[in-house]
Amino acid sequence: MEIIHIVLGKANPERMNGVNKVVHQLASKQTEFGETVSVWGITNDLVVNYGDRNYKTELFLKESNPFVIPKRLKESILNKKNKAVFHFHGGWIPIFYTLSQLLHKNNISFVYTPHGAYNTIAMQRSTWRKRIYFSLFEKKLLENSTKIHCIGKSEVMGLRRIFKNKKSILLPYGYENTTPIVLEKSINPEIIFGFIGRLDIYTKGLDTLLEAFQKFQKKVPDSKLWIIGEGPEKMILEQQLKGKMYSANVTLFGSKFGTEKKELLQKMDVFVHPSRNEGLPLSVIEAASFGKPCIVTAATNIGQLITTCQAGITIYNQSSKLLENAMCDIYSCWKNSDSFLQMQNSAIKMIEKNYDWKQLISRFNIELYR
């Protein structure tokens, strides 16, 4: 049985879109382990501007009406009846409602991964609009799905509040770092904290990060904060930094991909991700795989694991004071090269043990597709 992933976009890992990155790696690994896999992307254009991949990709030009299914996509789905299981990726996407109706009407199975869309914090934003949309469309999508794939505990809890069901599955995705990692004492004269992700100030907790770093930098004047990423709020961040004494120690790099991003990541000492809302942040998993101790919030859905594995520090409330304290604690560890090396090793082992694709692909097959 073929597995067909449907996503908005082209599953291009060289973009600041976590869902597309996850779909690319999932499809790649499923193919590598012997599955027949395709990715169908609903896109603004049909330009093939991504690299080689081991799975088939089909692009469908989206309609101006977000609920309308492109004719060729509809025909392609019906041609796959009894030959494939479909897997939708992303929450609150109008065309997925329409597609779910089409599949349900034709007795075609599909799995749905909201990618954190139902987390409690996510549901608190635009509350009344989401309630109306949910009652009209999203609830029917959930009812039509064969399985609902949650990637974090916060999404399980959020989903339970709005849609009681017995078909939701909690299952993380995997990660594999193919870059050789050599752990050694930091060559930085002073500690460098780093963040990589979409520049959404509230969701990603970047306001908390800047406040905490401002306080920390007063204690450690030569410390640095690197922020890598793009987003509509980049200009707001620049304005918030303008004229501040600590701004010279903060660098906004913009989007970086491939080798350039990996080189910056390797030069960081500690990765910080104080998000208010996540499914499962790929950036944290990637950073840990490079041996970077991580400071995260509980909302990232990886905090408990980081604490258990001693791979960093988790803060359990959105607080610049708590984040500053965590920075100070990890700085003390950073100054002791043996202790810091142990934490770096723990980060790598955490990813190898808990995000092994081989084990997870087997669970996907059993728990989601079969």
H or E element, residue 105 = helix 94-105
Q: For residue 354, give both structure tokens.
A: 């808990």
CA distance 209 to 315: 12
| Structure confidence by residue, pLDDT tens digits, 65-103 | 999 999 999 999 999 999 999 999 999 999 999 999 999
Numbers of helices and strands, H then E, in the chain: 16, 13
DSSP 8-state assignment for residue 261: H
pLDDT of residue 92: 94
Which has more confidence, 228 or 257?
A: 228
| Spatial CB neighbours of 315, under 8 Å, sequence gap ≥ 6 | 274, 295, 296, 297, 298, 303, 322, 323, 326
Query: DSSP letter string over 299-361?
Result: GGS-HHHHHHTTSEEEESS--HHHHHHHHHHHHHHHHSHHHHHHHHHHHHHHHHHHS-HHHHH
320 and 363 housed in the same domain: no
| Structure confidence by residue, pLDDT tens digits, 219-234 | 999 999 999 999 889 9
| Structure confidence by residue, pLDDT tens digits, 291-312 | 999 999 999 999 999 999 999 9
Residue at 180 is within a domain: no
62 and 207 housed in the same domain: no
199 and 71 housed in the same domain: no
User: pLDDT tier at 122 (50, 70, 90 boundaries)?
Assistant: low
Average pLDDT score over residue span 128-155: 93
Query: What order of strands is seen across the sheet that includes strand 312-315?
Result: 250-254, 224-228, 192-196, 270-273, 294-297, 312-315
Q: For residue 209, give both structure tokens.
A: 């990060």
pLDDT of residue 232: 87
Burial of 319 (0-12, 13-18, 19+ CB in 10 A): middle
One-letter amino acid for residue 68 of the chain: V
| Structure confidence by residue, pLDDT tens digits, 325-366 | 999 999 999 999 999 999 999 999 999 999 999 899 999 999
CA distance 197 to 282: 9
29 and 156 housed in the same domain: yes
317 and 363 housed in the same domain: no
Residue at 179 is within a domain: no
133 and 163 housed in the same domain: yes
Radius of gyration in angstroms for the set of CA atoms belonging to the chain, rounded to a whole number: 21
CA distance 299 to 279: 8
Residue at 116 is within a domain: yes
Q: Structural domain tally of the chain?
A: 2
Residue at 156 is within a domain: yes
User: pLDDT tier at 144 (50, 70, 90 boundaries)?
Assistant: very high
234 and 117 housed in the same domain: no
pLDDT of residue 157: 87
Q: What is the model's pTM?
A: 0.89
Please check whether residue 269 is in contact with residue 195, taking contact to mean a CB–CB distance below 8 angstroms: no
112 and 50 housed in the same domain: yes
Give the mean pLDDT of the chain.
Answer: 94
User: pLDDT tier at 116 (50, 70, 90 boundaries)?
Assistant: confident
16 and 106 housed in the same domain: yes
pLDDT of residue 86: 98
The domain spanning residue 332 has which CATH number? 3.40.50.2000
Residue at 100 is within a domain: yes
339 and 360 housed in the same domain: no
Closest to 168 measured CA to CA, from 151, 152, 147: 147
User: pLDDT tier at 128 (50, 70, 90 boundaries)?
Assistant: confident
Residue labelled with tokens 């041609």: 79
Residue at 364 is within a domain: yes
H or E element, residue 240 = helix 234-241
Query: DSSP letter string over 50-100?
Result: S---SSEEEEEEPPSSTTPPPHHHHHHHHHTTTTEEEEEE-SS-HHHHHHH
331 and 362 housed in the same domain: no
H or E element, residue 7 = strand 2-8
139 and 223 housed in the same domain: no
Residue at 244 is within a domain: yes
**Residue 78 lies in domain:** 2-174+356-369
Pairing of strands 312-315, 56-61: unpaired
Look at residue 33 and tell me whether its pLDDT is greater than 80.
yes
Average pLDDT score over residue span 235-254: 94
pLDDT of residue 131: 87
Residue at 86 is within a domain: yes
